[in-house]
Amino acid sequence: MTDDDLRFETRAIHAGQDPDAPYGSVNVPIYQTSTYAQPEVGAPKVWDYARGGNPTREAFQQALASLEDGERGFAFASGLGAEATLLLTLHPGDHLVLADDVYGGTYRLLSKVLSDWGLRFSTADLRDPAALSAALTPATKLVWIETPSNPLLKIVDIGAVCAIAHEHGARAVVDNTFATPALQRPLALGADAVVHSVTKYIGGHSDLIGGAIVTSDEEWIERLGFLVNAVGAVPGPMDSYLALRGLKTLAVRMRAHCAGARAVAGYLRTHPAVAAVLYPGFDDHPGHDVAARQMQEFGGMVSFRVASAEKAIDVARRTRLFFLAESLGGVESLIEVPGPMTHASVAGSPLEVPADLVRLSVGIEHPDDLIEDLDHALA
Ligand X SMILES: *Cc1c(COP(=O)(O)O)cnc(C)c1O
Orientation angle between helical segments 79-87 and 218-231, nearest 10 degrees? 120
Q: How far is the CB of 22 from ligand X (least distance, A)?
A: 33
Say whether 318 is catalytic: no
Which lies closer to ligand X via its Cβ, residue 17 or residue 294? Answer: 294
Q: Residue 103 catalytic?
A: yes
Work out whether 260 is an interface residue with ligand X (CB under 6 A): no
Catalytic residue among 72, 154, 200, 359: 200
Per CB under 6 A, which of residues 130..159 are in contact with ligand X?
146, 150
- When asked if residue 175 is in the footprint of ligand X (CB under 6 A), the reply is yes
Active-site choice (103, 107, 267, 279)? 103
| Annotated catalytic residue within 100, 101, 157, 175 | 175
Size of the site for ligand X (CB under 6 A): 15
Catalytic annotation on 217? no
Stretch that binds ligand X, among 16-24, 36-44, 172-180, 230-238 (CB under 6 A): 172-180
**342 makes contact with ligand X (CB under 6 A):** no
Binders of ligand X among residues 204 to 223 (CB under 6 A) are 209, 211
Does 78 sit near ligand X (CB under 6 A)? yes
Site string for ligand X, 91-130 (x = CB under 6 A): ------------x-x-------------------------
* Nearest-approach distance from CB 137 to ligand X, in angstroms: 25
- Looking at 15-23, 74-82, 179-187, 258-266, which segment touches ligand X (CB under 6 A)? 74-82
| Residue, CB closest to ligand X | 79
Q: What is the 3-state secondary structure (H, E, C) of the chain?
A: CCHHHCCHHHHHHHCCCCCCCCCCCCCCCCCCCCECCCCECCECCCCCECCCCCHHHHHHHHHHHHHCCCCEEEEECCHHHHHHHHHCCCCCCCEEEEECCCCHHHHHHHHHHHHHHCCEEEEECCCCHHHHHHHCCCCEEEEEEECCCCCCCCCCCHHHHHHHHHHCCCEEEEECCCCHHHHCCHHHHCCCEEEEECCCCCCCCCCCCCEEEEECCHHHHHHHHHHHHHHCCCCCHHHHHHHHHHHHCHHHHHHHHHHHHHHHHHHHHCCCCCCEEECCCCCCCCCHHHHHHHCCCCCCEEEEECCCHHHHHHHHHHCCCCEECCCCCCCCCEEECCCCCCCHHHCCCCCCCCCCEEEEECCCCCHHHHHHHHHHHHC
311 is catalytic: no
Cβ at position 177, least distance to ligand X in Å: 4
Minimal distance, residue 350 CB to ligand X, in Å: 17
Active-site positions read: 51, 103, 175, 200
Give the residues lining the site for ligand X (CB under 6 A).
78-80, 103, 105, 146, 150, 175, 177-178, 197, 199-200, 209, 211
